[in-house]
Amino acid sequence: MKHYCLALDLKDDPALIAEYEEYHQAIWPEIKQSILSAGITNMEIYRYGNRLTMLMETTDDFSFDAKARADEADPKVQEWETLMWKYQQALPGAPTGSKWMLMEKIFQL
């Protein structure tokens, strides 16, 4: 099992943040299926202000590249991603067009 931590910012607008959270209380079934079929066994998103942190547990053979290719080929995932971009903004210093940025683990107890 692999563990990943990613970060992303939301637009700093309370109404948009509330809408974003509503969507995540009941994600579309196709999105859940795309997550699970990629080898992601658990996913949690936490929020502080407009900063999001995503924790992912995956199978050992999980690949971000394979997930990205599958997402590009899935119209429903593309629809979801386009909708979510209404609420999201890139982290400061992130490459143009980037969304979730992989965080570097610096400590483990």
| pTM reported for the whole predicted model | 0.93
Distance CA 72, CA 66 (A): 10
Do 18 and 24 touch, CB atoms closer than 8 A? no
pLDDT value at residue 97? 84
Q: Which residues lie below 8 Å from residue 107, measured CB to CB, with a gap of 6+?
A: none
**Which residue segments constitute the domains of the chain, with CATH numbers given?**
2-102 (3.30.70.100)
SS3 42: strand
pLDDT value at residue 23? 98
pLDDT value at residue 81? 96
Mean pLDDT for each consecutive 10-residue tract of the chain (109 residues)?
Answer: 97 98 97 98 98 98 97 97 96 92 96
Tokens 């992303």 — which residue? 8
